[in-house]
């Protein structure tokens, strides 16, 4: 399924570039379609588990990074990482992916089954950049003020709206930021991006006294 998705994804964006000059509305529509497919498909329906795609992508990473990898031959490891990142961008439950990924990473290292330490570091770097670059843009705002309205954060960062709510969702789940309008009991399997409203007020977590601590916290949780 991963291979077919990547082929279709590549063709979609070729068409968008060649015939529609990367029209923003078309790109947004394609991205929404991809997000829906990755997070709601036959596998998630059969297993009755909306987070199954995140788990399976983490397991695919494990296969790629293990000694004696049986993934498709003839593709450079960097290309495989690139393909993984394409899918990872559409995964909603990135925290679920990270949970499985780092658990399997630890097992690879303990059992000395890792294909290469350099590849492991490259993969972690890819994940850190993808997950955190937009998060940092939002967190930097709290050097100016200790609280922001959601609408203000989006206006300041100019992150596209569908990705923007994923960023806030991730930061709220990691408890780097807080929102009084969202009850603590909501942070369960039913909590998602749609629970965040544009007029909600976001605060930096009081446990983090400086942006430096926030960044170090993020880095430690990616290592």
User: Which of 63, 84, 115 finishes a domain?
Assistant: 115
Residue 65 placed within a domain: yes
Higher pLDDT, 78 or 177: 177
Residue 129 placed within a domain: no
Q: H/E/C letters for each residue in 8-75? A: HHHHHHHHHHHHHCCCHHHHHHHHHHHHHHHHCCHHHHHHCCCCHHHHHHHHHHHHHHECCCCCCCCC
Buried b / exposed e along 160-175 (16+ C-beta atoms within 10 A): eeeebbbbbbbbbebe
User: Does residue 104 sit in the same domain as residue 12?
Assistant: yes
Residue 122 placed within a domain: no
The number of domains in the chain is 2
Residues 6+ apart with CB under 8 A from 217: 176, 208
CATH code at 66?
Answer: 1.20.1310
User: Which of 48, 82, 115 finishes a domain?
Assistant: 115
User: Does residue 104 sit in the same domain as residue 170?
Assistant: no
User: Does residue 75 sit in the same domain as residue 153?
Assistant: no
Q: Token pair of 200, please?
A: 């909600």
User: Which of 115, 147, 166 finishes a domain?
Assistant: 115
Higher pLDDT, 19 or 132: 19
pLDDT at 214: 46
User: Does residue 72 sit in the same domain as residue 177?
Assistant: no
Residue 131 placed within a domain: no
Residue 179 β-bridge partners: 202
User: Does residue 27 sit in the same domain as residue 69?
Assistant: yes
Q: Which of 154, 157, 175 is nearest to 165 (CA)?
A: 154
Buried b / exposed e along 83-117 (16+ C-beta atoms within 10 A): bbebbbbbbbbbebbbebbbebbeebeeeeebeee
CATH code at 166?
Answer: 3.30.230.130
69-115 tens-digit pLDDT: 766 555 678 788 888 988 988 888 888 898 899 999 999 999 999 98
Query: For the range 186-192, what are the long-range contacts, defined as Cβ-Cβ under 8 Å and sequence gap of 24 or more?
Result: 192/92
Residue 73 placed within a domain: yes
44-58 tens-digit pLDDT: 888 888 788 999 999
pLDDT at 212: 47
User: Does residue 166 sit in the same domain as residue 105?
Assistant: no
CA distance 93 to 79: 23
User: Does residue 152 sit in the same domain as residue 192?
Assistant: yes
pTM of the predicted model over 0.75: no
Q: Which of 96, 101, 80, 98 is nearest to 39 (CA)?
A: 96
The boundaries of the domain holding residue 90 are 2-115
What angle in degrees, to the nearest 10, is found between the helix axes of 52-65 and 77-90?
170
Give the containing element (helix H, strand E) for 177: strand 177-179
User: Does residue 6 sit in the same domain as residue 77?
Assistant: yes
Q: Which of 185, 179, 177, 182 is nearest to 204 (CA)?
A: 177
User: Does residue 40 sit in the same domain as residue 96?
Assistant: yes
Residue 45 placed within a domain: yes
């Amino acid at each position: 399924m991963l291979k077919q998705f990547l082929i279709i994804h590549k063709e979609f964006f070729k068409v968008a570039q060649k015939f529609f000059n990367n029209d923003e509305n078309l790109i947004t529509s394609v991205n929404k379609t991809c997000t829906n497919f990755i997070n709601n498909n036959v596998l998630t329906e059969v297993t009755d588990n909306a987070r199954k795609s995140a788990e399976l992508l983490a397991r695919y990473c494990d296969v790629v990074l293990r000694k004696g990898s049986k993934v498709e031959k003839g593709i450079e490891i960097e290309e495989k990482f690139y393909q993984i990142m394409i899918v990872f961008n559409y995964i909603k439950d990135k925290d679920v992916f990270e949970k499985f990924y780092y658990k399997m990473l630890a097992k690879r290292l303990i059992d000395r089954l890792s294909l290469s330490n350099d590849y492991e570091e490259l993969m972690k770097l890819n994940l850190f950049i993808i997950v955190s670059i937009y998060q940092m843009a939002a967190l930097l705002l709290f050097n100016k003020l200790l609280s922001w309205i959601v609408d203000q954060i989006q206006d300041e960062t100019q992150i596209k709206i569908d990705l923007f709510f994923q960023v806030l969702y991730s930061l709220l789940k990691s408890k780097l930021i807080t929102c009084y309008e969202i009850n603590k009991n909501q942070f369960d399997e039913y909590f998602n991006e749609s629970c965040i409203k544009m007029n909600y007020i976001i605060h930096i977590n009081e446990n983090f006294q400086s942006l430096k601590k926030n960044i170090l916290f993020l880095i430690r949780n990616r290592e």
